[in-house]
Structure 1
Amino acid sequence: MNRLRVRQALEATAPVENIVVKGWVRTKRENKGFAFIELNDGSCLMNIQVIADEGIPGWDAIDKVTTGASIAVEGSLVESPGKGQKWEVRAAGIKVVGEADPETFPLQKKRHSDEFLRSIAHLRPRTNKFGAIFRIRSEASYAIHKFFHDNGFAYVHSPIITGSDCEGAGEMFRVTTLDPASTEAKAPENDFFGQEAALTVSGQLTAEIFATSLGDVYTFGPTFRAENSNTPRHAAEFWMVEPEMAFADLSDDMDLGEAFIKSVVGHLRKHCAEDLELFAKWVDKGLTETLDSIENNEFVRLPYTEAIEILKKNAKTKKGKSRFEYPVEWGVDLQTEHERFLTDEHFKRPVIVYDYPKDIKAFYMRMNDDGKTVAAMDILVPRVGELIGGSQREERLDVLKKRIEELGLTEEDYWWYMDLRRFGSVPHAGFGMGFERLLMMVTGVSNIRDVIPCPRTPKHLEF
């Protein structure tokens, strides 16, 4: 028997004898003497229709072929006389692999809310929407690795447990083997690593180590932030893509970020067209326009100071009302409403804002000659806002020392980071992109919980 996935069957170019298809029943309709079964195995959005005649092996269990049950069908792939599908399976035998009680199976042939589906995250990938999301997530992962591989980057596995706070925000999950109630817990030297340890918030510092040895590298893995936020854009566990280039400056970083986004979007539009069409039809009517804007336009490059001037000039609507909830002044970080005004209304395409005030950026970003700004950049995309944040790193030892001191960090904690500036320092640059933010952009999904298999948020650790 030739095992066919549903996608393979639907894309066949000729009838096929002696096949087996396996999957989960979406619907079943019984008529006198035969039954229509809609079968899906997760390989694609479409179901394949199975025609089962009374009397074939396994027909005596047809009552157990209910929505949600898993079955194996032996038979032939034949041309379908009905509309809407080219092929169907003419069953020669059916086997019920796993039953699903129709009284308690929670997924029925109706539209369920995202909130309800989050409560059954173990079953939601069987729905059209979430099956599509996680196929896109899989293909996007491949597209990311392919882009960097094709451009000569080495893949680095950064550690998940760290003693360094890359972002300086202090919102890190502590990792310990000690009983928190014990007196031992007050002395980090008694812990497993002999010092305080936490889950990493970024793979960047590791990427810098390898960029100054291997050249162009990237990390792609889970990161963690203990931020008590329940917004649709934040999760405690998420994945980050973080490339780092040696002998590179901020301009190189912006070039890489733009090429990267366009490449991944183009790949997904080619290889996930059917799944993306679902989101363009049912989730975000403007999705196709957004993806066109990203893939086919040159990104605007805009200094932060000019961005602030544009926002201040447009702070009022034509009717004199305040356009923005958050006021705009030089020195403030841009809010999503500011970012979306620049991309959606003013330029109507992606925008790269660069040269931010030093006081709102991390210690490792390279100081510009004006002493007020750093060589940092954010890539903003329509309908989403910030997708990528990056910078040229500070490669000058004396300037980095001063910056660490200014921010109240401990130089001894970064002795190895300083060594990279002592021994063969080179200009280098990189960026970070939240993988889930990319998935939200390409699908139009508005809640990060819906693009992560098992979301981790405050007070929620199920599945």
Structure 2
Amino acid sequence: MASEQALVEGPAALQKYSKRVVLKTILGRSDGGVGLIGQRVMIGGWVKSSREFRKEQPLPAPEVVGPKDTSCVEIIQTRLPFFRSIMKVLGVGELRIRDKLDSVVPKPPQPSISILQISDGSSVSSLQVLVDSALASPSHVMPTGTCIHAEGILQKPSLQGKQIMEFKAENILYIGKVDQDTYPLSKKRLPLESLRDSSHFRPRTTTVASVMRIRNALTQATHNFFQENGFLNVQVPIITGTDCEGFGENFLVTTLLGNDGIKDQSNADDTWGVKLESIIASIKEKSKKVEELQRTESNEEALVAATQDLKKTTELASQLEEKLKAKIGKSTKTYKFDFSKDFFSSKTYLTVTGRLHLESYGCALGNVYSVGPRFRANKNYSNKSLAEMWIAELEMAFSHIEDSMDCANDFLKFICKWILENCTEDLKFISRRVDKFVVDRLQFIVTSQFEKVSYTEAVEVLKKVTEKKFGEKVEWGAALSEEHKSYLTEEIYKKPLVIYNQPRELEPFYTRLNDDGRTVASFEMIVPKVGTLIRGSQKEERFNMLSTRIKELGLENQQSEWYLDLHKHGVAKCSGFSFLFDPFVLYATGLNDARDAVPFPRSFGKANN
């Protein structure tokens, strides 16, 4: 509270490196900025909305002057009402003479004030800015998205409205104009789906800006938790020669498809990096979206945007079909790549996890963590995962699976509490605009105790369910679907859930085998709405068990040689987990698609910007 009091009494704080005042330091004060009235400041931001106020011009007082020479034009100006009266009586030439006289004496533009709502991205609230037409033309400063940099004074509101203060511009330093015909945010209330193709502009919308500020708080909370609990931050490689999990699709990193023009043409239908079957699947999905909008009588703009998107996708499919027909009858050649001639002299991938590399540092430094992107080339669409995912991972030396579960529990409670305490304004806005239950969900994790059940127990519970028919059959050894997990957390246990001891076939090769020989020491932390937020496990420290598992999965020895070598020389028992950033942002904001929860989404068939 002391800091808040100081914020009220002190002057507006300058942004250290640009000499402007960040709007949050004005609008985020407990007095709403009233205590700053009278201060001269410099602000910068983007126009969210605008309107124009026309000034009323008083008639000029009659001027008393001595005799002087007068021109013909001046005589006509002074006698204009008299001439018009004569023309009106005569009934001739009125329009012609009026046009000529008006062309001689053009009307000056009527003075006005542009009333702008400006945001600089620091908060949900906007600052009301007044710009006199003598400083800048309304047509230059009023379009939505216009960038304004100005000096002026904070004052009491001069016009009726909800504002308790405003900024009167006295000097315009810069105007970044907007082309209203092509600017994608010119229309109000665009649906999130239509903004995905404009990732470079969408943070200017209040909703996306709030989501990004919450995501920023999540990142800060993550680092704070680990730093406060004795973890060291280690940057793990994004490019790796190890197939880090032994199953799933990886992104291959190579320069062999470079300027020499070599192409692998084994898949003749792979044109522009997109397969026809994926486009057809996308058309079906977009058609359903259009039908849904038509049924729900959604706003017209959303329906128009979805219809146009469907039309573009259909046109793309037609073009691809024509190219495929042109290929019929032509021979194709399959190239076998020699990776010894590649940039790294071996096959390399974008990593799907950094936990193997973290383990090597954990066996030297104790507790370590890393935050960064991880990559999966799975083509199955999920609205909760992307090709490029942001993940926080950790490894703890001399620990078991129970220790990791305790750490994961504390971590989730910590970050939820942090966001509740540090994102109040954004959560209020999200509650009004997106989902009114976001605060309750975060508080739910802070106050709840996680229910722990084994995978075997979870399967048995689901098999007893008779009132619901699941889309996928429940059987031991199969992965639990999102539907299964959702039903367990929301209908059966009604609280966050930890499912542990998964079948060995479902987990990576490095997970420790349990004594039953069927399950491994792994766990998932599941919450309502989004499902899995954390996946963790205890690492297999026994060399013979690890090498046997690698052989079973047919992993290349050269790729796993360094990891096996680690387990020959003083390896410690380690455990850890991976925390999924993107699904948690969905949980904390009420959004339904991970593509709306990341700054620049990378998903199957889409990598704009």
**Residues 160-211 of structure 1: CA deviation (Å, up to 9, x unaligned):** 1111011212411111122343998621111111111111111111111111
- The structure 1 residue matched to 2:206, chosen from 120, 125, 128, is 128
Please say if 1:38 is aligned against 2:117: yes
Contact 2:385 2:583 in 1 (8 A): no
- The structure 2 residue matched to 1:443, chosen from 589, 592, 601, is 589
C-alpha distance in 2 between matches for 1:80 and 1:424? 71
Please say if 1:68 is aligned against 2:145: yes
Contact 1:178 1:185 in 2 (8 A): no
What does 1:234-249 align with in structure 2 at a 5 Å threshold? 234-249=385-400
Which amino acid counterpart does residue 168 of structure 1 have in structure 2? G
Residue 93 (structure 1) shift: 2.7
Query: Who is 1:423 aligned against?
Result: 569
C-alpha distance in 1 between matches for 2:163 and 2:446? 32
Q: 1:54 to 1:69 in 2, by over 3 A?
A: closer
Residue 241 (structure 1) shift: 0.9
Residue 412 (structure 1) shift: 4.0
C-alpha distance in 2 between matches for 1:47 and 1:163? 49
- The structure 2 residue matched to 1:312, chosen from 442, 453, 463, is 463
Query: Who is 2:428 aligned against?
Result: 277
Which amino acid counterpart does residue 595 of structure 2 have in structure 1? R
Query: Who is 1:410 aligned against?
Result: 556
Query: Who is 2:409 aligned against?
Result: 258
Query: Who is 2:47 aligned against?
Result: 25
Please say if 1:395 is aligned against 2:472: no
* Greater fraction strand: 1
C-alpha distance in 2 between matches for 1:298 and 1:234? 26
What TM-score do the two structures reach when normalised by structure 1?
0.93
Query: Who is 1:227 aligned against?
Result: 378
- The structure 2 residue matched to 1:7, chosen from 24, 41, 58, is 24
Query: Who is 1:460 aligned against?
Result: 606
C-alpha distance in 1 between matches for 2:455 and 2:351? 29
C-alpha distance in 1 between matches for 2:438 and 2:203? 22
Contact 1:64 1:96 in 2 (8 A): no
C-alpha distance in 2 between matches for 1:458 and 1:355? 31
Q: Percentage identity across aligned positions?
A: 39
Contact 2:497 2:525 in 1 (8 A): yes
Residue 95 (structure 1) shift: 4.0
Q: 1:400 to 1:415 in 2, by over 3 A?
A: same
Contact 2:243 2:559 in 1 (8 A): no
Which residues of structure 1 form unaligned runs of 5+?
A: none
The 10-residue stretch of structure 1 (157-166 or 233-242) with the greater mean CA deviation from structure 2: 233-242
Residue 364 (structure 1) shift: 0.7
- The structure 2 residue matched to 1:157, chosen from 218, 224, 235, is 235
Contact 1:10 1:87 in 2 (8 A): no
Contact 1:69 1:96 in 2 (8 A): no
Residue 415 (structure 1) shift: 2.0
- Secondary structure at 1:265's aligned position in 2? helix
Query: Who is 1:349 aligned against?
Result: 495
**Residues 243-288 of structure 1: CA deviation (Å, up to 9, x unaligned):** 1110110110101111111111111111112212222233223323
Residue 440 (structure 1) shift: 1.2
The 10-residue stretch of structure 1 (114-123 or 174-183) with the greater mean CA deviation from structure 2: 174-183
Residue 411 (structure 1) shift: 3.8
The 10-residue stretch of structure 1 (145-154 or 418-427) with the greater mean CA deviation from structure 2: 418-427
Please say if 1:49 is aligned against 2:128: yes
**Residues 48-72 of structure 1: CA deviation (Å, up to 9, x unaligned):** 11133454xx24x332012111111
What TM-score do the two structures reach when normalised by structure 2?
0.72
C-alpha distance in 1 between matches for 2:156 and 2:27? 10
Report the count of equivalent residues. 455
Query: Who is 1:166 aligned against?
Result: 244
The 10-residue stretch of structure 1 (20-29 or 281-290) with the greater mean CA deviation from structure 2: 281-290
- Secondary structure at 1:426's aligned position in 2? coil
Residue 345 (structure 1) shift: 1.5
Which amino acid counterpart does residue 181 of structure 1 have in structure 2? K
What does 1:93-112 align with in structure 2 at a 5 Å threshold? 93-108=171-186, 110-112=188-190
Q: 1:92 to 1:296 in 2, by over 3 A?
A: same
Residue 144 (structure 1) shift: 0.8
* Greater fraction helix: 2
- Secondary structure at 1:97's aligned position in 2? strand
Contact 1:10 1:86 in 2 (8 A): no
Q: 1:184 to 1:177 in 2, by over 3 A?
A: farther
- Secondary structure at 1:422's aligned position in 2? coil
C-alpha distance in 1 between matches for 2:133 and 2:224? 49
Residue 25 (structure 1) shift: 0.8
**Residues 24-63 of structure 1: CA deviation (Å, up to 9, x unaligned):** 11112111233321001111111111133454xx24x332
Q: 1:170 to 1:103 in 2, by over 3 A?
A: closer
**Residues 417-461 of structure 1: CA deviation (Å, up to 9, x unaligned):** 122222112211011122111111111111111112121122222
**Residues 320-367 of structure 1: CA deviation (Å, up to 9, x unaligned):** xx4321111222211111111121112221111101111211111111
**Residues 289-346 of structure 1: CA deviation (Å, up to 9, x unaligned):** 32221111111111111111221122x11xxxx4321111222211111111121112
C-alpha distance in 1 between matches for 2:529 and 2:263? 47
C-alpha distance in 1 between matches for 2:379 and 2:425? 37
C-alpha distance in 2 between matches for 1:365 and 1:343? 25
Query: Who is 1:147 aligned against?
Result: 225
Please say if 1:364 is aligned against 2:510: yes
Residue 94 (structure 1) shift: 3.0
Please say if 1:217 is aligned against 2:368: yes
Contact 2:353 2:374 in 1 (8 A): yes
Please say if 1:336 is aligned against 2:482: yes
The 10-residue stretch of structure 1 (427-436 or 288-297) with the greater mean CA deviation from structure 2: 288-297
- Secondary structure at 1:269's aligned position in 2? helix
- Secondary structure at 1:241's aligned position in 2? strand
Q: 1:293 to 1:51 in 2, by over 3 A?
A: same
C-alpha distance in 2 between matches for 1:389 and 1:450? 23
- The structure 1 residue matched to 2:263, chosen from 173, 181, 184, is 181
Which residues of structure 2 form unaligned runs of 5+?
A: 1-13, 56-112, 265-333
- Secondary structure at 1:262's aligned position in 2? helix
